Structure 1
Amino acid sequence: MDYPANVFIGKIKDYDGSRPSAIAKVQVDGELTLTEKGLVGDQQAEKKIHGGPDRALCHYPREHYAYWASEYPDQAGLFVAPAFGENLSTEGLTEKNVFIGDIFRWGDALIQVTQPRSPCFKLNFHFGITDIATQMQNAGRTGWLYRVIVAGKVSVDAPLTLVSRLSDVPVHDACAIAWHMPFDDEQYHRLLSAAGLSISWTRTMQKRRLSHKIEDNARRLWGR
């Protein structure tokens, strides 16, 4: 099945009380160049935690915006793509039917799902909602990230088409294993067995298996 996508890129800007970010993206048209680092013209402010080979593209389901608008009716106008800083916005693909390791064709390129997006505190400043990063994580409405398997020309007129499914771990389950369950070695092993899992998530899950502890996410979610 084909999934038409809106495409967005962003430039780094300053945020009062927070660090610079390129979360505020704009829609683009026509043909674009996709490299292993992402779309040409799309910037990331802090490449330790944003961008890189395993996080070259961010995808957010358009249908989630109705949920956020219902949660914040007074701010409903904020919740339209690409408010969560996504590069790709579609209808029909969600965390429940997209799996870790899925490979999609997009134009001349091939892209692979590597992990759920890990919400960070910059979302709190972007929306002016103090805990929306935590809410996003708790709701499992995170979207997901891709690596670029084959670079090439892509276009807003070229849909996403699933060409390979390599694991039995939906992005929804990856979120649940990482954030919603107590320590569970069997589930970490399941996630580690998912072909295509990012290096960052592989490292985190393996560390948990060795330490029998779940790391503190306060710095990521709250900036402290």
Structure 2
Amino acid sequence: MQVSEPRQPCYKLAKRWGIDDLVVRVQRTGMSGWYLRVLETGDVGAGDTVARLADSAGPTLREASVVVQGLTDDADLIRRVLAFEGLPTRWRPRIERRLAGGRVDESARERGPAADR
């Protein structure tokens, strides 16, 4: 398995738990979970060991999530996420528009992601 992208919660989450602003709350944390892609079929069961096989030089899942959800204005981080070849193609236009539109802060690197503040 390989982590493919962060999840983006939808209205169903708020509906299920009866909390109107739950989707926004979850998005603000940057911790909405992730999707996995299957690289090799096989059986996985309760109690099986899962081990990391390789580290990626790309952004962390949290970094990608805060960029995609617009929770950071750190231009360096946004460019790093855009440079990652594993970034889902459908995300690129939205992120590129943010850079082109000037809604980023070139000095934000020292402060870290907005979700951490």
Amino acid at match of 1:204: R
Contact 1:113 1:196 in 2 (8 A): no
In the other structure, the counterpart of 1:39 is none
What TM-score do the two structures reach when normalised by structure 1? 0.40
1:125–1:167 Cα change, 3 Å:
same
CA distance in 1, matches of 2:25, 2:11: 11
- Could you list the per-position Cα deviations for residues 152-182 of structure 1 after superposition, in whole angstroms to 9, with x for gaps in the alignment? 2222232221001122411121222232123
Q: SS at the partner of 1:138?
A: helix
Aligned CA-pair RMSD: 2.3
Q: Match for 1:181: what amino acid?
A: T
Secondary structure in 2 matching 1:152:
coil
Change (3 A) 1:134 1:120: same
Separation in 2 of the partners of 1:130 and 1:213?
32
Structure 1 position 189 matched with structure 2 position 79: yes
Q: Would you identify which runs of 4 or more consecutive aligned residues in structure 1 move more than 6 Å?
A: none
* % identical equivalent positions: 26
How many corresponding residue pairs? 102
**3-state secondary structure, aligned to 2:87:** coil
Deviation at 1:203, TM superposition (A): 4.5
Q: For residue 117 of structure 1, what is the amino acid of its counterpart?
A: R
Structure 2 partner of 1:86: none
> What TM-score, normalized to structure 2?
0.70
Unaligned runs of 5+ in 2: 104-117
Aligned residue in 1 for 2:92:
202
State the shift of 1:126 in Å: 0.7
Structure 1's 144 and 125: CA in aligned 2 closer, same or farther, altered over 3 A? same
The one-letter code of the counterpart of 1:212 is: G
Q: 2:101 aligns with which of 212, 220, 223?
A: 212
Q: Which position in structure 2 is the counterpart of 1:156? A: 46
Higher normalized helix content (fraction of residues) = 2
The 5 Å alignment of 1:117-136 reads 117-136=7-26
